[in-house]
Structures are given as structure tokens and as C-alpha cells.
Structure 1
Amino acid sequence: MDIRAITPDYAVSPQIEPSDLPAIKAAGYVTVIDNRPDGEIPSHLQADAMRAAAEALGLVFVVNPVIGGMLTMDNVAAQGAAIAASRGPVLAYCASGNRSSIVWALSQAGKRPVDELIALPARFGYQLEHLRPQIEALARSGS
């Protein structure tokens, strides 16, 4: 498990295992967002299995699958809603953490400065500069 705190309240990670969830809870995370489509992973890591393990520990588990190269505004809205609804820190995961970083940055457009939305994930190697025009447009539209 490799938790990368983008902000004090939002972190991303490459794929996690059910056995990682107790440590995630112990680290203070209360919501886990699965940004990985089930079709990419074996059954023991798919949403239903992960949800059961997370909820058994009292964690909120949100399924928001982001298909590589096919991110939708529904994904962005769902990520933003899950973050806003969380009663504490959020951990989102996908294959590498990149999709979870992208959907976070887009969902936070207009709530944080664009430079920050690009720079914070960059500390972990997630390059979002190419999304600057889209983040700026979302910020202007208030979405």
C-alpha cells in the first residue's frame, strides 16, 4: 500500500487489497473511493468484495469507476459529491493513483487555485498540466 496525500483530507493510492483496509482506517481515512473498473482486476479486488471488507470496518465505500481515457463529467460530479459528503479524510484508488488524481483535480475546479490542483498531484509524479484548460473552464463555469 502506498498512500499519497494530495491534501490533508484527500489521498490517492495504487490498487489496494482488502487486507490494507484496517491500516487505511487506522491512518484516519473514513471514506474509500474505488476509481477502478471491475473489468481491470481479479474478482477478489472488485467493488463488491472491497465494499464488504470496507463496510465491515465502518468505512464508507464509494464506487466511481473511471475508465482510462474515457473520464466523464458524471465521474467528476460523483467524485466531488463523495468528497463533499465525507465526514473525514478520503482515500481514492485506481491502478496507479493517476485517475484518482485527475478526477479529484477536475472535481475541485473553482474550489482551489488551478496551479494548486496541478502542483499538488505533481509532487507524486501525476502530471496534470495538460488538463489546465479543462480545469480553468470548469472553474469559470462553476461546475
Structure 2
Amino acid sequence: MKITPVNDKLSVAHQPSEAEIAALGETGTTLLINNRPDGEEAGQLGTQAEAAAAEAAGLSYLHIPVTGPSLSREDVDRFREAVLAAPGPVVAHCRSGTRSLTLWAIGEVLAGNLGREELLDYGARLGIDLSGAARWLDAHGGGEV
């Protein structure tokens, strides 16, 4: 699993295996957020297996399944609140990390912590394309520059 640190609290990642989830418990991670819908891809663990692996590793677990077309303001708020409320480091994952960073970046723009004009460069610095986040903001009234 490739993990990309976003800040001191949040990292985003590719789909983890059960062994990789177990290892997160040894790194001080306190919360694992899964942003994938179940059944999105053959061979993905799925919510029940991830939740069990997270519990065995001593992690809290949250499932906020999103796709580009289904992503809502409620999803963004729920994700942001969970990250901010976690007592320690958070790893959020989807297939590649893009959806997880998209949720965070949209929340940062809406909270006024990141300028809309900075969004694409922010993603590029982390090696993740945030053009979907920019489109979401434009479509949902958060795209002011």
C-alpha cells in the first residue's frame, strides 16, 4: 500500500491488505477511513473484512463510500469532522488515494484553509490529480477564485 502524508494528522493511501491494516496499528494510526463502495473491484477487502482487521489492530474504522458522481457536501463534512476529531493520525484510503484526498481538499477549500486557485498545485505536490475536486467545487458553488 502506498501511503501519502497530507499533513501531520492525515495520510491517504491505496487499498490496503489485511496485513497492511494490521501494521497501521503499530505506527500510531488511530483511525482508518475507507472511501470505497463495497464491490467496486474484484478482490478488494470490503467493509466487513476491513472493519475486523482494523479492530484487531486497535484502530477505529469509518466507512464513507464515495464515487465521483455521488460525492456530496455531507460526505465532505463527515470526512473532515472524522479526521479533525480523531485522537491521532488518520489513514484514509480508496483505490488510489485520489478520492480520499479529494474529500479533504474540498473541505479545506470550503473551510477557507486552501484557496480554490491553489487546489491543483496542492494535489500536484502530493502526486495526486485534484481536477475532480475542482470540478466538484465549480458545480457546487465552492469554486470562487
Q: TM-score scaled by structure 1?
A: 0.83
Cα deviation for residue 112 of structure 1 reads 1.8
Structure 2 stretches of 5 or more lacking a match? Answer: none
Report the equivalent of 1:37. 37
Report the equivalent of 2:74. 74
Quick check: 90-99 or 77-86, which moved more? 77-86
1:80-112 CA deviation, whole Å, 9 max, x = no partner?
121122001110000110000100111223252
Structure 1 pair 16/107, CA: closer, same or farther in 2 (3 Å)? Answer: same
RMSD value, Cα = 2.6
Give the helix-richer structure, 1 or 2.
1
Cα distance in 1, alignment partners of residues 143 and 32 from structure 2: 25
Q: Secondary structure at the match of 1:80?
A: helix
- Percent identical residues: 34
Cα distance in 2, alignment partners of residues 56 and 13 from structure 1: 20
Cα distance in 2, alignment partners of residues 70 and 85 from structure 1: 24
| AA matched with 1:124 | L
Cα deviation for residue 43 of structure 1 reads 6.8
Report the equivalent of 1:134. 137
1:26-69 CA deviation, whole Å, 9 max, x = no partner?
22211110000002144760011100110122101010001233
Q: Secondary structure at the match of 1:49?
A: helix
Cα distance in 1, alignment partners of residues 91 and 47 from structure 2: 15
Report the equivalent of 1:113. 114
Q: TM-score scaled by structure 2?
A: 0.82
Report the equivalent of 2:92. 92
Report the equivalent of 1:54. 54
Structure 1 stretches of 5 or more lacking a match? Answer: none
Q: Secondary structure at the match of 1:108?
A: helix
Cα deviation for residue 133 of structure 1 reads 8.2
